[in-house]
Amino acid sequence: MQLFVGLGNPGGKYAGNRHNIGFMAVDRIAADHGFGPWKSKFQAEMSEGRLGSEKVVLLKPMTFMNLSGQSVGEAMRFFKLDPADVTVFHDEIDLAPGKVRVKQGGGHAGHNGLRSVHQHIGPEYRRIRMGVGHPGHKDRVPGYVLSDFAKADQDWLDDVLRGCADGAPSLAEGDGGRFMNAVALRTNPPRDTGGPAKPAQDPAPAPREAEAVDHRSPLQRLADKFR
């Protein structure tokens, strides 16, 4: 059994924020794979379903980002899971928009949601780092991640979310490489290098034969006419 956690903040005010891309990812997984209705449990919204042969619980902590670990720890203990059974989807300012990376264990890099998860279950869980870009200066980070995605971001964002849903069964089976391939097929689809067939060209007209030059004198031409 797997626990897939999306990090974000509850409420319509935050729904479109960059900080809520984790919520968006698990929402798309639930929708694309026919998960059950969302229910309130573990200080979170929870949905259950299957990804391939694996039973998976999707979790969106409703504690606000800084206390996300409370909900994750409660759910993990209830289902008797290990940290290695937990995957957390979260925004990552150190990756360019549209980039996605899988990471097992490690530090929280100052992300308040991950910091809270570390405190409650330790660092040995898997993360899906979903790039949202950096505002350019650390003082601008809080306002940046708590702002909505721009309209110009919607195409790549939709591709990333669809890719995460496409690859979710592979992720549940522990195959991070195939998950990344599924994301790449959405974000960087292969190009058709063959190109459109060129229309057939009409053959060039055959050159006209040069007209023969008549070197006869007028008198010879008249004489030849009556032969």
- 225 pLDDT tier (thresholds 50, 70, 90): low
Query: Quick one: the chain helix, strand, coil %, rounded to 5?
Result: 40, 20, 40
- 151 pLDDT tier (thresholds 50, 70, 90): very high
Return the pLDDT at 203. Answer: 54
Q: What is the pTM of this model?
A: 0.82
Enclosing domain of residue 62: 2-187
CA 194, CA 101: separation in Å to the nearest integer? 31
Selection from 146, 179, 163, 143 nearest residue 2 by Cα? 179
Does residue 215 carry a catalytic annotation?
A: no
In a domain, residue 91? The reply is yes
In a domain, residue 218? The reply is no
In a domain, residue 201? The reply is no
Return the pLDDT at 121. Answer: 96
* Integer CA distances (angstroms), 91 to 34, 49, 172, 199, 226, in order: 24, 24, 20, 48, 103
CA 18, CA 133: separation in Å to the nearest integer? 9
In a domain, residue 225? The reply is no
In a domain, residue 146? The reply is yes
In a domain, residue 125? The reply is yes
In a domain, residue 20? The reply is yes
CATH number of the domain encompassing residue 36: 3.40.50.1470
Strand partners for 17: 148
Tokens, residue 60: 């969106």
Mean pLDDT of 32-53: 96
In a domain, residue 130? The reply is yes
Domain count, the chain: 1
Return the pLDDT at 189. Answer: 85
